[in-house]
Amino acid sequence: MKVVPVQRVMSPADADKLVGRTVGDDEPWMPCEGPVLMMDADDPTLPVMAYLPLSDPGPLRQAVRSAKMTTTLRAGTGMRNASRTFGMAPRKPVQWREGCAETSLARDDPAVQAVLTDYAAICRDTLADLLPAEVERGKAVVGQVLPEWRLAEDALWTSGVINANSALPYHRDRFNFDAWSAMPVLRRGVRGGYLSVPEYGLTVPCRDGWALYWSGFRLLHGVTPLTKVAKDGYRFSVVYYALKGMKDCFTAAAELTYSQQKRTSREHAPAMPNDDGDPYGRVPE
């Protein structure tokens, strides 16, 4: 594995101006073919990103391809995104989730959840071998979350998302802790779908069976357009992260009681219609 310097070419403030914009159809560009650890050229102690192969992506590929995706409309962009979250989810009353809970995938397909959890440990150990200080910092951060709300008791992350064939616009992972994430990619018969990191002028190729490690909280990123070149082509990214909202969760038993109380309180509250006459203010699909 090579350790190479990469030069910052854009300030965080200038990068923020790109938030929400679609990514251009750029060709991959990295300082070397990989595996590689990229360090900031102006601060040799500051790691930027690692790009490494998975030792055995087969079980992860099988699990991800068997998971049922859901399609959502991404706020502010009008783009539809096929994805599926896994692991743990914080309270989100606007979506009628009154308490912290496992995601539906964790409840409905525990076999897939188990494989995803296994690869969380693999990615954590890979990162620990490479950047032990970042892993220790991540452990300290996620230590604010009760063990039962992590992917595993000693896990570095609480949650994750599977993105299917998604060319995501530029964004920062602002709901995450300021800690490194891992992103294995599984792809076949697809052109494009590269990870763009404009602050360092990087366009990472996202090869099949390789994983990226970096802080999506710190660095703006997005995905270039992708095109299927085979009928059964696909590109899945599996992103592991630690959600800040999970630090506010009580124990599972207390969350259940809390959510039941909040739900009962809401159901007995007088209806307050919105402008469309919907008493709950829901947006029509």
List of domains in the chain: 2-266 (3.60.130.30)
Share of the chain above pLDDT 70, in %: 88
User: Helix H segments across 92-247?
Assistant: 104-108, 110-130, 132-142
What's the mean pLDDT in 198-214? Answer: 97
β 80-89/210-214 pair status: unpaired
pLDDT value of residue 97:
73
pLDDT per residue over 138-156, tens digit each?
Answer: 999 999 999 999 998 889 9
SS3 (DSSP) at 53: strand
Residues 223 and 203: their CA atoms lie apart, in Å, by 9
pLDDT value of residue 78:
60
166 token code pair: 């998604």
What's the mean pLDDT in 167-179? Answer: 96
* pTM score, whole prediction: 0.88
Is 93 in contact with 133 (CB distance < 8 Å)?
Answer: no
- Residue 92 has, within 13 A of its CA and on its CB side, a CA count of 12
The pLDDT confidence band at residue 117, using thresholds 50, 70 and 90, is very high
56, burial (CB in 10 Å: exposed 0-12, middle 13-18, buried 19+): exposed
What's the mean pLDDT in 49-62? Answer: 97
pLDDT value of residue 85:
96
Say whether pLDDT at 17 is over 70. yes
pLDDT value of residue 75:
58
Mean pLDDT of the chain: 89
Nearest partner of 223 among 183, 176, 179, judged by Cα: 183
Per-residue exposure over 20-52, b if at least 16 CB sit within 10 Å of its own CB, e if not: eebbeeeebebbeebebbbbeeeeeeebbbbbb
180 token code pair: 């490194």
Nearest partner of 112 among 153, 46, 162, 73, judged by Cα: 162
What's the mean pLDDT in 223-241? Answer: 97
